[in-house]
Structure 1
């Protein structure tokens, strides 16, 4: 798939070396970059921030030499146009070296054993979720090649990073990450990102099947949606950007994203940055784990892999999950009892507020939809000048129409967006971590209703139908708050 003419482009490793060698000053200091990351409420692309990173040379060919002979697990998926998402539970897996991957993907003259059953014209391969700590376990010096400290996080390097290597067509299904925000450094090839804001969650039809601790998946294949089955998706505001080598994409907390490789070989490095809200999110995830594992194990005790994402390797017994829940609640309380924000008083004050509002379920749902946390309230920052310019490009809404109806997906033009949308998006998204509850109250209630309603032809409620309601992100947030309140008096 070719990139849109409006895609942002940047310096490819090895290209324009003279120009880059002459650049000595980065557009943002680490302090300013962190300020932007912690305040910005829309995705944006940082440019000219990593030109001196040694990791710029980490092409798949270079990594194959560094990791010579090391077996890596590849996820193999079909190059298809199905309207059903290709979840990881629907893929197959093989163990192979990067040399074997490159031969299969680029040379194809003598396909080795691991890839022999996968026709390159019909399959893609993805070495995803490769944590540096396990991948480079005997080469820890390589961690220093990644310098997230340039973005205001001292000491953060490859040790807190993940590597992704894929062929054309490799992708991750549309999902949101429940923890942190995301920084993604594109090293080789291009990736196309389809992003949707948190308040569009009602239109993405969230599900926790397959179950993965930190991921809420969408039931929709966002590049080929079934609008008859998921009509609310028409309302979702798609943001599309093509990320090129040398660029770093910032994905704010709880933004949905579908990511696809659009060049023959792609290499990316990412790091999830922890946020204050993660303390409560871990309690919500523990609740979800208990409920999903209990109901799905009871339904099919002999085949947990049918609903458990392959990335989940921990034990899923009810006893272990309950211990995990208790640990998450205890960790939350311990954090706020020792934090500088006098968390115990905050817990008490917000607990009282929640009890007063307890009869108004719609209010709670609305509050959750905006991403605010009654127990972890932060200070709403004042409006400040927009940070956008030639070196920070906003990812703007692409089209109000779904791909299947509009005849194509339109990307934001990074070169034009910096000036044209600076004023609008600076006011709308910058320095507002919390939004007014009333704006999305109806949308949150609509999400619960949409998730729990059955099609007219469906007469039986399945376990998955029940879980869609029980572990809906808004519901688990309320349950987490109630659990915490019960332990905080």
Structure 2
């Protein structure tokens, strides 16, 4: 007999937790939660939606017992205030067990062992991008402890999730995810989130170096920005919130985010939700991969470590990347074909229904094409906004003052998809209505214009400078659309 998720040894709550299954009534039904997620255009925190999840008890101590001494990879960064982001290419790495991490994190720095070269007072550790399917490959029952189906995604659980465990100060550089939207469940400790809307992309100085598939990084350390070098960052609209245990943060598509651990130990679980726009985004990412790998390997064929993120383990050969691009384009056209068939069937059914009801088909269809969809979308948005309250808290715009590094907290109110052939097709991200970035062409020109105060030694154009222009998110989008149009005659 298959054991239920709440009855497994690996996911059982600690003794005395006292939670009686079935007593808690969630503030939103799965259908309503999904409706909110698919319509909301700003980050928000869901409260009281995961109180009965077994995963709420997965502290680092508990997980160390579940993993039984299994080694995982920790990224090691410096506890320092610098204007330069700590990209993953500049960090050290350690293979260690969670038990060894917890011992080190208690400031019991050993004279030997995996953390011997890292003084706890000077370094933080982050076990990030730990995919459940590989981390718990021999304990698949644990997948059922994460119940994303409560948010309207049937069958989605830990199998489509990623685990993050860090010490105080551990963080991810500011970036946006090319695919999908994001749901983040905070298990242990607190994390401070700095978020910026997609329209502010020109003010975040996007770059694809270091290269990580589906991640667009910012050149700015958003908690200590160099405004002389990046003056337009002062126009960015920062939304900040502290995510507490038990809460679930919703991050909409293409919102920039910088995430830092502000407690001694933090544990969080996330899942990227697939969106319809991801089909074109995968074409854009394939174009990006080809250009980055071609130019950077031509620049230095023997040194990928300087520009390729350690999370990227796939081949960087031009042949492999071209196959990736062709698969992405083919998948997009397959999606178009399927969508048209479904749309045609829906229209036929709709017409037949309206004929039976004696309605004017042409007038009804004209209303749908000229504004009916926008009207219905507007109603959904209004309904989502009206639900803000104690169980759905918006992440609001904050003041321009930055948080200090001494622990003050500013609060709001509140990766891989594998095709059938086994080859890489992008992180398992992501179906939401498209929200075009409303940046003006002037902003793009301004972004790429040289700084009038630039010293002569800085005027030499590097490969990275060229890539920053070629792979600006808006430029890549235009290139992908032209490429798709050029092949649409075959469709």
Interval of TM-score (by shorter of Structure 1 and Structure 2): 0.7 to 0.9
Q: Is the contact made by 2:131 and 2:163 (CA closer than 8 Å) also made in structure 1? A: yes
Report the equivalent of 2:485: 485
When residues 233 and 402 of structure 1 are mapped into structure 2, their CA distance, relative to the original with a 3 A threshold, is farther
Report the equivalent of 2:354: none
What do the CA deviations read for 1:310-366 (whole angstroms, capped 9, x no partner)? 00000001111111111111110111112257789xxxxxxxxxxxxxxxxxxxxxx
Q: Is the contact made by 2:276 and 2:433 (CA closer than 8 Å) also made in structure 1? A: no
CA shift for structure 1 position 451: 3.0
Q: Is the contact made by 1:207 and 1:468 (CA closer than 8 Å) also made in structure 2? A: yes
Please give the secondary structure, in 1, of the residue aligned with 2:166: strand
Q: C-alpha separation between the residues in 2 aligned to 1:436 and 1:314?
A: 30
Q: Max radius of gyration: which structure?
A: 2
* Pairwise CA RMSD: 2.4
- Aligned residue runs from structure 1 range 140-151, under 5 A: 140-151=140-151
Q: Is the contact made by 2:174 and 2:258 (CA closer than 8 Å) also made in structure 1? A: yes
Report the equivalent of 1:117: 117
Report the equivalent of 2:322: 322
Report the equivalent of 2:186: 186
Please give the secondary structure, in 2, of the residue aligned with 1:486: helix
Report the equivalent of 1:66: 66
Please give the secondary structure, in 1, of the residue aligned with 2:179: coil
Report the equivalent of 2:83: 83
Q: Is the contact made by 1:203 and 1:447 (CA closer than 8 Å) also made in structure 2? A: no
Report the equivalent of 2:197: 197
What do the CA deviations read for 1:398-448 (whole angstroms, capped 9, x no partner)? 1145569xxx8743232xxxxxxxxxxxxxxxxx956688xx343x53134
CA shift for structure 1 position 453: 2.7
1:244 counterpart = 2:244? yes
Report the equivalent of 1:300: 300
Q: C-alpha separation between the residues in 2 aligned to 1:252 and 1:393?
A: 14
Report the equivalent of 2:216: 216
Q: C-alpha separation between the residues in 1 aligned to 2:68 and 2:16?
A: 29
Report the equivalent of 1:131: 131
What do the CA deviations read for 1:433-469 (whole angstroms, capped 9, x no partner)? 56688xx343x53134313535632221111111010
Report the equivalent of 2:279: 279
Q: Is the contact made by 1:89 and 1:310 (CA closer than 8 Å) also made in structure 2? A: yes
TM-score, normalising length: structure 1: 0.82
Q: C-alpha separation between the residues in 2 aligned to 1:19 and 1:155?
A: 23
Report the equivalent of 2:378: 382
Q: Is the contact made by 2:277 and 2:433 (CA closer than 8 Å) also made in structure 1? A: no
Q: C-alpha separation between the residues in 2 aligned to 1:466 and 1:310?
A: 23
When residues 312 and 248 of structure 1 are mapped into structure 2, their CA distance, relative to the original with a 3 A threshold, is same
Report the equivalent of 1:27: 27
When residues 14 and 237 of structure 1 are mapped into structure 2, their CA distance, relative to the original with a 3 A threshold, is farther
Q: How many residues align?
A: 422
For structure 1, the residue ranges without an aligned partner over 5 or more in a row are: 1-12, 345-377, 415-431
- Aligned residue runs from structure 1 range 229-268, under 5 A: 229-268=229-268
Please give the secondary structure, in 2, of the residue aligned with 1:304: coil
Q: C-alpha separation between the residues in 2 aligned to 1:155 and 1:147?
A: 8
Q: Is the contact made by 1:452 and 1:469 (CA closer than 8 Å) also made in structure 2? A: no
Q: C-alpha separation between the residues in 1 aligned to 2:109 and 2:295?
A: 49
Q: Is the contact made by 1:185 and 1:246 (CA closer than 8 Å) also made in structure 2? A: yes
The correspondence for 2:442, drawn from 438, 441, 445, is 445
Q: Is the contact made by 2:19 and 2:52 (CA closer than 8 Å) also made in structure 1? A: no
CA shift for structure 1 position 200: 0.6
When residues 219 and 133 of structure 1 are mapped into structure 2, their CA distance, relative to the original with a 3 A threshold, is same
CA shift for structure 1 position 19: 8.6
Please give the secondary structure, in 2, of the residue aligned with 1:229: coil
What do the CA deviations read for 1:272-311 (whole angstroms, capped 9, x no partner)? 0000000000000000011111111111111011000000
CA shift for structure 1 position 387: 2.0
Q: C-alpha separation between the residues in 1 aligned to 2:112 and 2:471?
A: 44
When residues 207 and 267 of structure 1 are mapped into structure 2, their CA distance, relative to the original with a 3 A threshold, is same
- Aligned residue runs from structure 1 range 34-49, under 5 A: 34-49=34-49
After alignment, is 103-112 or 205-214 more displaced? 103-112
For structure 2, the residue ranges without an aligned partner over 5 or more in a row are: 1-12, 345-371, 415-431
Q: C-alpha separation between the residues in 1 aligned to 2:475 and 2:15?
A: 50
Report the equivalent of 2:423: none
1:337 counterpart = 2:333? no
